[in-house]
Amino acid sequence: MTIDKGSFLLALATLGAGGAGGYVVSERGVLKHADAPGVMERQGQAPESPQASRPDLPTSRSGPACDDMTGAPGACPSPGYPAEEGGCGSLATKRCEDFKQAMKPRVAEQAVACLNALSPAQRCDPARLNLCGHLALMNACSSADPPQTTSSSPSGGGPDEVSSRCDAITRSCTNTALPPPMRECRATLAGLSAIGRDRMAACMSTHCGDKGLAGCEAVIDVK
């Protein structure tokens, strides 16, 4: 199974389009029923909405709020054949355990599910393993946009914890030509747990130039 960001987002878009299409068809069915013989609309009057003709229908379709703290990561992949037998041992298992520690529960759930969907050969490719973590982080519930602060906030309208972390990371990258953009930093840290953010900051303090944000994502053992 090949997993990449393009196909992942395309799949989400396809599912979303399918859901919207079903809703439109349903609404058309209601409107068609309203135009049955014997029912005439007054000239110049807009058709009555389905909700107006059916007071029992809910007026809001909003679902529960997305929460990265809800979720239960599955079991990690079993270790494969050792290197001397042509395998990669516990590479995928170790990365999976990193995800569980460094990510919020819902984000870790998605990353671990991605690992389990890989073939044995793909689980020996570090880039494939890291892509599972990256896609999960980029689809975290938390927004990468700066929060709307108010004067009544406990911090007096100052930056939130994620922004403070990203400011510190940016300052630690002063010796590099291109410090990480704030938006990308926030998007990465938003889906990480407290320990994941600590390890991210430690990794970036020494590897901002060679690994960058993507290379320091959800890494527990910083080297």
Q: Determine the Cα–Cα distance for residues 50 and 13; give it in Å rounded to an integer.
A: 27
pLDDT at residue 140 in the model: 93
- Neighbour tally for 5: CB within 10 Å: 12
pLDDT at residue 222 in the model: 83
pLDDT at residue 139 in the model: 94
pLDDT at residue 2 in the model: 44
Q: Which of 91, 87, 66 shows the shortest CA–CA distance to 77? A: 91
pLDDT at residue 209 in the model: 87
Per-block mean pLDDT, blocks of 10 residues, the chain (223 long): 46 42 35 39 49 51 78 93 85 97 97 96 95 96 54 43 91 77 91 95 91 93 84
pLDDT at residue 186 in the model: 92
pTM over 0.75: no
pLDDT at residue 143 in the model: 52
pLDDT at residue 204 in the model: 93
pLDDT at residue 66 in the model: 87
pLDDT at residue 8 in the model: 45
Q: Which of 65, 68, 66 shows the shortest CA–CA distance to 190? A: 68
User: Which are the contacts of 159, defined by CB distance < 8 A and separation ≥ 6?
Assistant: 146, 149, 167
Beta-bridge partner residues of 103: 192
pLDDT at residue 180 in the model: 83
- Both tokens of residue 103? 């990510």
